[in-house]
Structure 1
Amino acid sequence: MTTAPASGRLGAVTAGAPAFPLALLFGLNFVDEIDRLAFATLSPEIRDAFGLTDTGIGAIGSVVSVFILLAAVPLGYVADRVNRVWLVAGAALLWGTMSALTGLVTAVALLFAVRLLAGLGRVSNEVVHSSLLTDYYPPEVHPRVFQFHRLANPLSQVSAVVAGALAAAYGWRWAFAVLAVPTFLLLCLTVRLRDPGRARSRTAAPAGSGGGLPFTAATRLLFRIRTLRRLWLAALLSGMGLVALPQMLSLFLSDVFQLGATERGAALTVAGAGQMAGLFLGGRWAGRASSRDDWHGVATVAGRSGLVFAAALVVLGWSPVPAAAFAVMFLMGAGGGSFLPAYLSLVGRVSPGEVRSQAYAWAVFCIGLGTLASIALYALGDAAGYRIAMTAFGLVVLAGAVTAFTARRFAQADAA
């Protein structure tokens, strides 16, 4: 099935290469987002059910995220040495099961445990999916491929409305049980997926017969690439805000505008619509640049998009009414969406094939380190209000966006 040439619109995205891998990974990315958004949307209800404060429920999300993201580099190392399809299937089974169990646990410790395990499954999307797609398809179509794959993120925002409606009708616990079902349906299709092998780079040292570079050699190789170093520093700075953002947005809307679960879900859906628009724009801009082998241009698209995203976060903190907040969230989503096709294509281009999973993983790891500081933002929200906390959020992400913008200085040389 993975060798059949594609036709139609999806065939245009893949330049005629088999579309089944892209379609299946899109679906898995979609259902992964359902779990994440359900927890973010229903954070106030979960907080009340377990008798937690805003800082407490925020700490669960942030601490879990740190553990998950710090596991990205070991996962990337494994993914560069084993069949990545096995990792995709195992990860889907793990997060689907833990998502369902989220609605069953009754103790805070168990809630922490199931969210941790669910997140460990979901992190494979950032590391393994990106690596597989880079090897399934040629570089000139990577922006379009990543654009399509990441469309799952904004399209899944509708699940925030569904989660809110299910929680309002049947309680938040039933919402998690129902929303876990699609993951298991897609899991059955992974048996038809095949690992495409790893495209080698002339910049990499020979891997030998052991199935991959040793970890220290791979790390030295990656850290010599200046574009990656800038992007990873940007991830470290932005990590304070990015991972906790959906949960922070939900608490912000609840605290500042007293919006209920359904309205908060609608707000996240608006942000998702902006992200969808941004993905189309970013994919088009980055695709034009990559078709000319202009990786300075691809990096410029990523940098400018990050600046738009960060500026919108700062403005959001001072939105006077819900309608204004919704409009700014659309712009924020557009900036984040247009960043992704350029960023993912750029990392895939400048990183050697033998260690590409680790290249994606190091960015996730750096975001995890930055997330350690996000707990302070929840405490700031409790103490000073969520307008101040959201503004601080935006300023930190802005520092990361400026750093990412400087990566364009080295992108063309590193891609050569």
Structure 2
Amino acid sequence: MPSKAGSRYPFAPTTNRGSTRRRNPPVPEDRDRIDDESSLAEDLAEAAAREGLDLQSEQAQELSEAHVQVEVAGGKEVSGLDITKAKIRDYGLRPLAILFILNAVDEFDRSVLAVALEPIREYFEVSDTVVSLLPLAFVFLAGVIGVPAGTWADRWVRKYILAGGAIVWAGAGFMAAAAQNFFQLFASRMLLGAGQGTIGPTHLSLLSDYYPVEIRGRVLGYHRSANPFGQILGAVIGGFIVAILGWRWAFAIAALPGLVFGIYALWLREPKRGESDLDAATSANPILAEFLKEPEEKAKFFASLKVIFKIPTLRSLIIANSSVGFALVGVIFWLPGLFERRYGFTTKQASLVLGILAFATFIGTWYGSPKADRNVGQGFNFMTRYGAKSVMWVTIAWPLAFLIPNPWVTTALMAISAGVASYGIPGLVAVVAASAPPRIRSQAFAAFGLALAVCGAAVAPLIIGVVSDVLQGWNVNSGDSLRLAMLASTVVVVGIGNWFIFRASDTAADDVNRTIADFLNEMTQGKAASVTSSAAEGTS
């Protein structure tokens, strides 16, 4: 198929004649120089001929018709499919549904902690600084487990890892419900982190392999919408449970779905790594698909991290995720406490505010998912820039919200801006999936999630709590001390994150192109080396 500059990118992996070194992958500015008539089969046939391997003419003829076509920034088709016609149900709804539920249950538990924060602080008679250590307990083991979990997910069966993690965090929920002192509650949150540290690496990697790029924005966006959906359940249902039955029952009830669906996840199909990307390249040629089967060699831990941080887009988005997460997660953690202290809200009323904010985020993420797929036609740079402009709403609106004395105007301003920001987030997640090499995609998502966990779930609540206690020591009332600490974090830190997202929008398309080219070159040349090596052994 003829190439069209800016719309299709025919990668034809080749080897240097007379050398085992790999040719550098083509980059966008070289598209017009790529020979449309070159093919994988021609290179394989020549390599086989040099090594004395006789390929049957029928197979060689069929292979010679294969052209590996991969969509990049531009055009309305991806891998030959019209993105407006591709349906998620064509690839199966069960994996997305199960992982959506598990992700929502994870967020439900964390929202219960936010709603129950004041009752827990009063029950154990601790300060803001001490109670803010609970998220730090969670992220300590989430961070310790999360990064190696990415390596495990790149090497082992991922469904077993995610199922085991779900069962562990369910046990942590029951442990929290039975805690008799603050240390026991702290330990239960550490165990919870150990279980939930497996979510990012396994869930997003599996979904990227279950579903092809033309619907990946929707899939990853819908999966991400489970976070605000779980927040809604945690804020509304969890808030009522805390108010009526107490925080212990809330933790126990939140643990049950994770146990049930964690066991059910064992029956999911385990896709091979890069499956959807290979299917897009080989759907019309079964022999080529057989040739590109996944090799036995797996990615090494430190080598994977080195590759990830050498990709400018991934590096920028990981930093942005940590910066934006610092402000957003830290603010969400303390938001019920702010409304209870500053505005005199009850636990039920404060949980309603959290529910409104979560609902707006859910709507934005849900409807932003198909928008991410439509934006593929505008290119990955456009997708990233669109996400940056969406997040900018929070950068501007949330600091203003903390300056407004009316609680419901504050809630409305925060909810609307959160919904708009969430509309662009699925596209950013899709960019991470597209720019991360398939063999280490789990590790890339682990690094992405770890940045959010460390800076958002752990450091931010602690710093906001410490600043609040310091301000109270200067005779600032507890409500205003929280408000000022939140104001400072959103003004400075979200702005930094926003800048890094804009920076990623300059490199996204090129990085996606290079990642796909490297992947297909690695696959074909690894197989070609295996074929010629086997032929040499056979003739010796």
TM-score for both structures, normalised by structure 1: 0.90
> Could you say which structure has the greater relative contact order, defined with CA pairs below 8 angstroms and 6 or more residues apart?
1
Residues 33 and 149 of structure 1: CA distance in aligned 2, closer, same or farther (over 3 Å) = same
Q: Aligned pair count?
A: 402
Corresponding residue of 1:391 = 487
Alpha carbons of structure 1 residues 339 and 116: separation in structure 2 relative to 1, 3 Å: farther
Aligned residues of 1:38 and 1:159 also touching (Cα < 8 A): yes
Root-mean-square deviation (CA), in Å?
2.3
Tell me how far 1:59 sits from its aligned partner: 2.2
Q: Structure 1: how far apart are the matches of 2:144 and 2:452? A: 9
* Secondary structure, counterpart of 1:16 in structure 2: helix
* Structure 2 CA distance for partners of 1:253 and 1:69, relative to 1, 3 Å: farther
Range with bigger deviation, 94-103 or 192-201:
192-201
Superposed CA deviations along residues 31-65 of structure 1, whole A, max 9, x for unmatched, are 11111110111111111111111111112223432
| TM-fit CA distance, 1:210 | 5.2
Per the TM alignment, residue 144 of structure 1 is displaced from its structure 2 partner at its CA by: 0.9
Summarize the alignment of residues 12-411 of structure 1 with structure 2, pairs less than 5 Å apart: 13-14=87-88, 16-156=90-230, 157-199=232-274, 211-290=297-376, 292=377, 294-371=379-456, 373-374=459-460, 375-384=462-471, 385-395=481-491, 396-411=493-508
Contact map agreement 1:160 1:269 (CA 8 A) in 2: yes
Give 1:3's aligned residue: none
Of the structure 1 ranges 178-187 and 228-237, higher mean CA displacement relative to structure 2 is found in: 178-187
- 1:317 & 1:270 partners in 2: Cα distance? 17
8 Å contact from structure 2 (residues 364, 420) kept in 1: yes
Q: Which runs of 4+ in 1 moved over 3 A?
A: 206-211
User: 1:6 maps to which residue?
Assistant: none
Contact 1:42 1:164 in 2 (8 A): yes
Letter paired with 1:17: Y
Alpha carbons of structure 1 residues 114 and 43: separation in structure 2 relative to 1, 3 Å: same
Any unmatched runs of 5+ in structure 1? Answer: 1-10
The alpha carbon displacement at 1:146 in A equals: 1.6
Alignment check: 8 A CA contact 2:327 2:494 kept: yes
In structure 2, do the counterparts of structure 1 residues 209 and 16 end up closer, same or farther at CA, with 3 Å as the change threshold? closer
How far apart in 2 are the matches of 1:107 and 1:59? 14
Instruction: Note the residue ranges of structure 2 that are not aligned, 5 or more in a row.
Output: 1-84, 279-291, 472-480, 514-540
Deviation at 1:130, TM superposition (A): 0.8
- Distance change (3 Å), C-alpha of 1:106 and 1:336: farther
Deviates more, 1:151-160 or 1:99-108: 151-160
Letter in 1 for 2:119: E
TM-superposed CA distance for 1:138, in Å, is 0.3
Match of 2:66 in 1: none
Deviation for aligned residue 1:209: 5.7
Structure of larger gyration radius: 2
Q: Displacement, 1:280?
A: 3.4
When the two structures are superposed, what TM-score results if normalisation uses the length of structure 2? Answer: 0.70
- Which residue identity is paired with 2:502? F
Cα distance in 1 for residues equivalent to 2:204 and 2:131: 30
| In structure 2, C-alpha distance between the alignment counterparts of 1:213 and 1:167, rounded to whole Å | 45
